[in-house]
Amino acid sequence: MTDYIKTNFGLYDDKNDPIYEGFYNPSNPRWNGWLNPYVTKEVFDKIVEDVVPKVFNPDWDDEDFWIELRDQKPNKDGLYFVGMGLCWMSEEDC
């Protein structure tokens, strides 16, 4: 198993955004400055429920992006990658 580092993270768009527990891989912690988090199935399902309806805009978003996020399989460590170009920040970033 990869030596993931535990972190709390969120979108931090407003004060009511949920904070999630997850991990990041120290060999690839960020994309374009944003956190690349991995999460358990339970947290993944919560993110799909919370974030997709809030962030997805059918007027300009490619629906395939969201389908790929939603339909992904866990990695060899049983974790789901939710970086995928989303603008996540860790609590340490705030």
Instruction: Find all residues with CB under 8 Å of 38, minimum gap 6, and list them.
Output: 4, 22, 23, 24, 25, 75, 77, 79, 80, 81, 82
pLDDT of residue 51: 79
User: Residue 55: what residue type?
Assistant: V
| pTM, two decimal places | 0.86
List the domain boundaries for the chain: 5-93
- Residues of the chain below pLDDT 50: none
pLDDT of residue 79: 97
pLDDT of residue 53: 64
pLDDT of residue 90: 94
Contacts 24+ apart (CB under 8 A), 14-18: 18/46, 18/50
pLDDT of residue 33: 93
